[in-house]
């Protein structure tokens, strides 16, 4: 059973992801996530993982809890 090496998004893909994170939605719904994945050429799973990690990073930088249970955006 072959294991897939996790792909690192290219600079162009990161620009698209960052744009959508900052300007569109920090926590996209499944439809938007699908569109972003299609635009970047990444899988929905990879895109979702990136958004989760980026949101945790953003929340930490804002001094918020890393999970969104206690504070609503």
Domain with 58 in it: 11-62
Indicate whether 73 belongs to any domain. Answer: no
Indicate whether 22 belongs to any domain. Answer: yes
Tell me which residue of 44, 47, 62 sits closest to 16, measured CA to CA: 47
CA distance 3 to 1: 7
Q: Say what the pLDDT of residue 71 is.
A: 46
Tokens of 17: 């992801």
Note the pLDDT tens digit of each residue in 7-54: 788 999 999 999 999 998 899 999 999 999 999 999 999 999 999 999
| Number of domains within the chain | 1
SS (H, E, C) 5-61: CCCCCCHHHHHHHHHHHHHHCCCCCHHHHHHHHHHHCCCHHHHHHHHHHHHHHHHHH
User: If you average pLDDT over residues 51-69, what whole number do you get?
Assistant: 84
Rounded to two decimals, the pTM is 0.77
For residue 16, give the CATH number of its domain.
1.10.10.60
């Amino acid at each position: 059973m072959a294991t897939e090496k996790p792909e690192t998004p290219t600079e162009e893909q990161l620009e698209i992801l960052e744009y959508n994170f900052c300007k569109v939605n920090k926590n996209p719904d499944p439809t938007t996530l699908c569109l972003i994945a299609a635009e970047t050429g990444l899988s929905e799973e990879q895109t979702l993982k990136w958004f989760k990690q980026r949101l945790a990073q953003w929340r930490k930088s804002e001094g918020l809890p890393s999970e969104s249970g206690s504070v609503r955006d």
